[in-house]
A and B are shown apart, each in its own frame.
Chain A
Amino acid sequence: GAVVSQHPSRVICKSGTSVKIECRSLDFQATTMFWYRQFPKQSLMLMATSNEGSKATYEQGVEKDKFLINHASLTLSTLTVTSAHPEDSSFYICSASGGRRDIQYFGAGTRLSVL
């Protein structure tokens, strides 16, 4: 299957700093990329859907000014957690697909810990 690389796998930062997470599709063009958040023992929750070259669509309750998503190319999307706080600590997973109903290929996830 297709490969999606997510970096970094783990990040620890101080409260108030910003953290950028990258999601790359290595061997296919990802028209659509998705960002999920997962709390311990809970389901993955979709945060936003991004299409290359256009603004991301955020799910209800997700602050677009706090979670900045950029999908500038067909192989790269970034999620920036701005002014991170301890409550932002979570597991963030990206996925990429060739279209909204195509199979999603998942990155390995990023464990964010905000001190």
Chain B
Amino acid sequence: KQEVTQIPAALSVPEGENLVLNCSFTDSAIYNLQWFRQDPGKGLTSLLLIQSSQREQTSGRLNASLDKSSGRSTLYIAASQPGDSATYLCAVLMDSNYQLIWGAGTKLIIKP
């Protein structure tokens, strides 16, 4: 059974810092991996999607990497801003049944 773990559960850093969020998964038979952002009481915004054959994806100040064999992904946020404060979720799409399995998220607070 696939398990997705996100560490840390919460992170608070000063504005301007670069930071890394971690996501690990136990079953490497994934179709792709996505990073999402969720603001309090709101829905999900897709940030980056990495196909299983890819190593990384970049969008603006965000860079996501994928090491499928070791079951790890990282989300790198450069020059963090208070507007980046949110909960960041990673999810893997399983090869076997195309079901999305979610991590519990990392709650990020960027202090002005």
Contacts and interface: CB of A to CB of B under 8 A. Distances in A.
Q: Chain B CB within 10 Å — which of A34, A41, A42, A111 has the most? A: A41
Interface stretch (A14-22, A66-74, A81-89, A96-104): A96-104
A46 B101 CA distance: 8
For chain A, the bracket of interface size reads 20 to 34
A1 B47 CA distance: 11
Tell me what chain B mostly uses at the interface: helix, strand, loop, or mixed: strand
Nearest to B49: A103
A6 interface: yes
Given A43-B4, A101-B93, A101-B98, A111 B105 contact: no
Contacts of B4: 43
A104 B43 contact: no
A93 B44 contact: yes
15 contacts: A41-B104, A41-B105, A42-B104, A44-B89, A44-B91, A44-B100, A46-B100, A49-B99, A93-B43, A104-B100, A105-B46, A106-B44, A106-B46, A107-B43, A109-B41
Interface of A: 1, 6, 34, 41-46, 49, 91, 93, 100-101, 103-109, 111
Interface of B: 4, 31, 36, 41-44, 46, 49, 89, 91, 93, 97-100, 102-105
